Chain A
Amino acid sequence: MYDYVDGKVDWMAFGLPVEGDDGPFLGSQVVPVPTCDVGQTVADARRALKVAGDNAVVVVEAEGLAVGDVDGEALAGQPDETVLLEVLRPVPSTVRPSVTVASVSGGGAPLVTTSDGRLLGRASVDAAPGDEGHDHEGHDDEGHDHDGPAFDLDGYESELTAVLTAVEEHFGDAEPSPEELRAFLHDRLVAEGRSAEEVDQLLDSLAADEPG
């Protein structure tokens, strides 16, 4: 058994094909943007802009996390040796590669990042963050579980891999009944700090999702 831990978002972030009712997705329309590290200087940013022929450079920290950007205007008048961390503008709203192109319509080309804030590039479509599938700090999307983006990350989804392992370890070769499975999941989620009421609601919603 193999666990593709980066999951569907990672797959779509690289514009790889998917099947299903929705799309096209932003991940297939991402173009590179010039970047500098937070520790680099204004002179470095000017060079990066010149080489890329772009009007802004995205400032990233370790592991490609986007923290802000600087454009030519922000660089104007700044001493060459000024560290970018001192002049950057906090990163604007970003969007996930897993949202549909249609969901981000309206002037602009937002930065595209993974759920954990890693910069992928800029949307090549004329798009701007709307109410769907974006955030300001590179964390997961919250509160969009009905009319929101194509892929909303409810809290439980991020734990599925761990749950799979836990179920396997707990039940071994025995096949649990639905009631046993529910009781196990209930206890586990409550032990992790969720309220019993919240867990019951969650499990009810999962039970309503019958296999298709």
Chain B
Amino acid sequence: MFESVTRDRVRQLIDEGAQVVEVLERRQYRLAHLPGAVHLPAWELTRARADELDRDRPVVVYCFDNL
């Protein structure tokens, strides 16, 4: 399950080597994404796609905002 984290915690996790995943549509990702973020749209979050991530590193998922 997901643990909600704040911006400061995200920065800390990135510094610690976390993988960052943007789940928005491709256009949104292409325009701007967090540094180093990979693109994995929510509707493609199948096990096969999830396997592209390194299971040994934390994963931070983000969307557009909190609404």
Q: B59 touching A7 by the CB < 8 A rule?
A: no
Give the complex CA separation of A25 and B34 in angstroms.
13
Residues of B within 8 A of A (CB): 1-7, 9-11, 13, 18, 22-37, 39, 41-48, 58-67
Q: How far is the CB of A173 from chain B (nearest CB, A)?
A: 7
A10 and B32: CB pair below 8 A? no
A27→B29 CA distance, assembly (Å): 17
State whether A10 touches B60 (Cβ < 8 A).
Answer: no
Task: Check A10 against B7 for contact (C-beta < 8 Å).
Answer: yes
Chain A positions 136 through 176: 1 when the CB is less than 8 Å from some CB of chain B, otherwise 0: 00001000000000110100011011011101100001011
Contact with B along A74-96 (1 / 0, CB 8 A): 00000000000000000000000
What residues of chain A lie closer than 8 Å to B64, measured between beta carbons?
A: 7-9, 151, 153, 157-158, 160
Residues of B with C-beta under 8 A to A140 = 65, 67
Given A3-B61, A150-B32, A158-B64: A14 in contact with B13 (beta carbons within 8 A):
no
Chain A residue total in the interface (Cβ 8 A): 49
Do the beta carbons of B33 and A209 come within 8 Å of each other?
A: no
Q: Which residues of B contact A211 (CB under 8 A)?
A: 26, 39, 41, 44
Q: Do B66 and A10 touch (CB < 8 A)?
A: yes
In the complex, are the beta carbons of B58 and A2 less than 8 A apart? yes
* B7 interface neighbour in A3, A11, A163, A165, Cβ under 8 Å: A11
- Provide 14 A-B residue pairs closer than 8 Å at the C-beta atoms, listed in order of the A residue: A1-B3, A1-B59, A2-B2, A2-B18, A2-B59, A3-B4, A8-B32, A8-B63, A11-B34, A16-B34, A160-B42, A210-B26, A211-B41, A211-B44
Structural contact, A153 and B67, CB atoms closer than 8 A: yes
In the complex, are the beta carbons of A23 and B32 less than 8 A apart?
Answer: yes
A116 at the interface (CB under 8 A from B): yes
Chain A residue contacts of B32, Cβ below 8 A: 8, 12, 18-23, 25, 98, 150-151
